[in-house]
Chain A
Amino acid sequence: MRAGLFTLMRRSRACTLGGILVLAVVLVAVAAPVLSPRDPVRQNLPGALQPPSATFLLGTDQYGRDLLSRIIWGARISLLIGVIAVILGSFLGLLLGLTAGFYGGGVDRVLSRVIDSLLAFPGLLLALSVMAMLGANVGNAMIAVGISSSPRFARVIRGQVLSVGGKDFVEAARVVGASDLRIILRHILPNVLSPILVVATLGVGTAILTEANLSFLGLGVQPPTPTWGSMVSEGRVFVGTAFWVSLFPGIAIALTVLGFNLLGDGLRDVLDPRLRK
């Protein structure tokens, strides 16, 4: 099955392109100490706001820091927050969605209202509120972005559990006396993993954007740690004279999010037999 899935993924143009982009960002993030030409936080004020050149491939920022090095190290923070936030969001979503979908009735009605209520908050607002209460640092950014993504996971998972929960094999497990936990872990969860995988892949892109928004507003990861959102924010003051300071980190965000979105779209096509051509 795994080999089949990989072959199908390779046949999908979206999966291939998205996979290449994601793999490239992951490699850059992992190999940052090797790839980064300079120290990303070392200031060099006489060399501030230099345009792209052979010495500084993407130019320098207002403190003379090498933009290429900062973008390379920024990939680590973006990926780390994106992936961990999605793991946290999908875990919370699983708890809510599985419980609501599996037990149904009053439990479902109450939890569905909780999910609806959470969905009434624009994702960024929810993340901002949590950051405002917990304070700005990397760990809290992961928690804030994770919480803001959890209602979307919960809604998808609840829908999937509802459709799987009525199937014969679940009824059969009940009849032979399997416990609720066993039915959930052995019979339902494996059958709802595919859609979770799709939503999670798309969710990493959204989480990276949310973290970038938080950093842009100065409410995410704090300086001097290089993050793509804060780099765009710092550069906006000089956008008329040194546009590259904002331009390149913005391109890095867009390409990374594009990669995860293409991979997610492609996975959905591959995993859903109705969409498979």
Chain B
Amino acid sequence: MPRYILRALGSMPPTLIGVLTIVFLIVRLIPGDPAIVFLGDMATPEELARVRAQLHLNDPLPVQYARYVGGILRGDLGFSLKNDQPVARAIRGVYPFTVHLAVAALAVSAVIGVPLGVLSALNHNRPLDLVSMGVSLIGVCTPLFWLGILLLLLFSLKIPLFPAIGLGDPGDVGSYLRHLALPAFTLGLSTAALTARITRSSMLEVLGQDYVRTARAKGLAERLVIYRHALRNALIPIISIVGLDVTRMLGGSVIVESIFVRPGMGKLLVESIYERDYPQIQAVVLVFALTVIVVNVAVDMLYAVADPKIRYQ
């Protein structure tokens, strides 16, 4: 197996252990007796004893930790206190919807952000550059929930182009995509702003390189210089921000799924918090973090594939 793949995979286990430990400790942050916090002050001593036994809260901390990690390794994410079912079942039901949302948003971000960044770099310090970077700066500062509400107002209530809320019929591709459009645009637009800024700086750096000057000097058409020589190399650093984008999008899914009443991991997390279903909160947060780790390792590998300098280090 190539060394860069081993290197990327090798970074996973320590981070995984760290993530598991943090998620385990999150519930231990609760001041006082977690069982009382879970069930409320009105819980009977029997109910409290049942929850303490169910969550093994009477065991010493290292035993609890070992049991928790062992359970995760066997695919046991815990048991929902409110829904009375394994948490993994609830997560399996909604995880694909969040993945679809993140992938669609990533596409929106790339389709808008990359051309905007390229256009800015090609018009460096001209009005077009200032306008597009100004727009992208505003995009970075705009709260996601506000953007979602504005898009919902404009493209669903005022101009009824897209459905306002819900998932549509997952069996009907057209209906599903129409319901996905506004949430994906909301999430994608907010990330496109960052993608545009990074594309611009990467493109500006590449445009100043000797090989671009050589390409121009040998009389190559400007279009070819930009697309064949500059953009291909400028896109390499952009791959590295995909991991960052996915992290932002998973965080953003909490907001977007709440605005558009769309089932998904984010909405499940918020519902779990409202219901104080701590095992489910732990499990959802863990799955979010594991997704980020896997995506980042995949991005590291992709980066090495795209950039020979990394591959042969």
Contact = CB atoms under 8 A, between A and B. Distances in A.
Same complex? yes
Contact of A116 (B15, B30, B259): B15
Interface residues of A, number: 45
A89 interface: no
B281 interface: yes
A218 B247 CA distance: 22
Given A113-B14, A121-B292, A243 B19 contact: no
B178 interface: no
Contact of B21 (A117, A131, A233): A117
A132 B281 contact: yes
Interface of A is mostly: helix
B71 interface: no
Given A217-B255, A240-B153, A121 B289 contact: yes
Interface string A105-128: 000000001101111111111001
B142 to A, nearest CB: 5
Contact of A257 (B141, B273, B276): B141
A250 B143 contact: yes
Interface stretch (B82-90, B114-122, B144-152, B216-224): B144-152
B29 A236 contact: no
Contacts of B289: 117, 120-121, 125
A236 B291 CA distance: 31
Contacts of A246: 146, 149
A116 B300 CA distance: 14
A12 interface: no
Contacts of B270: 128, 217, 219
Interface stretch (A33-41, A80-88, A170-178, A205-213): A205-213
Interface in B277-313: 278, 281, 285, 288-289, 292-293, 296
Interface of A: 113-114, 116-125, 128-134, 205, 209, 212-213, 216-219, 229, 232-233, 235-236, 239-240, 243, 246-247, 250, 253-255, 257-258, 261-262
